[in-house]
Structure 1
């Protein structure tokens, strides 16, 4: 990979896919600004591989000033931003008649407005550096999602944003998205469902996945790194890459 010496910003970097992405980038020789709400998990992720190439930056990307501050911190520490991974996400599942519309507002703020804020904040750097954005979306934004329609709608919006910005920001900035299927992350303990509902959901997802299991965060991280790398993906933009064990086949 040609990521050695690059400066990357990763949101939601304390756990799950974001943590795996940050660790993979650090292992590839990149400098990484790890962004998330909780300093503890960010620090644990940074300590694994990082050293001086890891910057822990607790921030709420639901706030425009938080997005700007994250980018500014990366530039101050590493001198540039070459890539942005919009991984932070929020999921709340419920049938439409029981869904709390406040949850929709919260999901839109994290899943759509957060990436918009960060892309805008990082855009001068990304243009100057011929950089790349990878949005971590979901196959839920491309499939019918009974009982999860509001979450799926926020990810469909992120997919549309990805494709439109790929054209709008070309040729200087590449914008792609990965669409994971069910991945073994802490998200499944925080969906707003009771224990039985969560167990039933997980069983149904495994049954609907041709490869018969949840993915691992590291399996998503490798694709994210490839899309950031100008050597492997320098002619790839506007792609929505499903990494889902065949879930969307």
Structure 2
């Protein structure tokens, strides 16, 4: 894949402390990009930087911020532009999962997931839009196959992912031709999100086993396997792709 075409590109990557976001950051910066790494935990962001080859660490800026907080996201826009000068690409990867049946679900969790998965990314796209337009940039939203599949006991999570999927397709038309907007829809990927689902360990283990059995390739994906496709869409190799919802899911949606 032509990730070398990211050389000299300026990126903002949310949820960059662990998992897919950290993998995107490592791949992009080692291909020559500069990036502002965003996440709630500064220690996780610093750990991501330490995993990058020393020759490229100066190309990374750590910016602790909560995408679910409107004021924090507004400050992030100012920081990113001050640090980078302009932005060529935005990766909205920050995510949170709360799984429960309708009877047991907390409406506060629905509001939280909507802020993180929908309103935060929308605010970030809007704040960076003048720079993205000037650079004829690219937005990649990392969503989930959960936004396409009907999944009991995960309805609130799936609803917020469906919302960002719809936002992706609508903005792809609205912001064309200057800005491309696409989404990557991962299936089950082995990331720390499964450590914080609001479920007990037995429930989490049962869920993981169910996801593996429902995935034709018979395993969880890895963050690196998803990150390569994110970088492809950010690069000039994806220059004629917009409004696409791309499942990277081991056949989960087949």
Shorter chain as denominator, the TM-score bin is: over 0.9
Pairwise CA distance, 1:133:
0.3
What is the CA deviation profile of residues 178-198 of structure 1, one whole-angstrom value per residue up to 9, with x for unaligned ones?
000000000111001111100
Deviation above 3 Å: which 4+ runs of structure 1? Answer: none
- 1:187 pairs with 2:193: yes
Matched residue SS, 1:2: helix
Structure 2: runs of 5+ lacking an equivalent:
none
Pairwise CA distance, 1:72:
2.1
Partner of 1:46: 49
Partner of 1:25: 28
Pairwise CA distance, 1:200:
0.4
Matched residue SS, 1:33: strand
**RMSD between superposed Cα atoms in Å:** 0.9
Partner of 1:176: 182
Pairwise CA distance, 1:2:
1.4
Asked whether the equivalents of residues 182 and 244 of structure 1 are also in contact (C-alpha less than 8 Å), the reply is yes
CA distance in 1, matches of 2:102, 2:74: 35
CA distance in 2, matches of 1:155, 1:134: 14
- 1:205 pairs with 2:208: no
Partner of 1:16: 19
Asked whether the equivalents of residues 7 and 74 of structure 1 are also in contact (C-alpha less than 8 Å), the reply is no
Picking from 125, 128, 140, the partner of 1:134 is 140
- 1:236 pairs with 2:222: no
Asked whether the equivalents of residues 9 and 71 of structure 1 are also in contact (C-alpha less than 8 Å), the reply is no
Matched residue SS, 1:89: coil
Matched residue SS, 2:247: strand
What is the CA deviation profile of residues 39-60 of structure 1, one whole-angstrom value per residue up to 9, with x for unaligned ones?
1110111232242100000011
Give the TM-score taking structure 1 as reference length. Answer: 0.98
Give the TM-score taking structure 2 as reference length. Answer: 0.96
Aligned residue pairs, count: 248
Partner of 1:224: 230
CA distance in 1, matches of 2:71, 2:151: 33
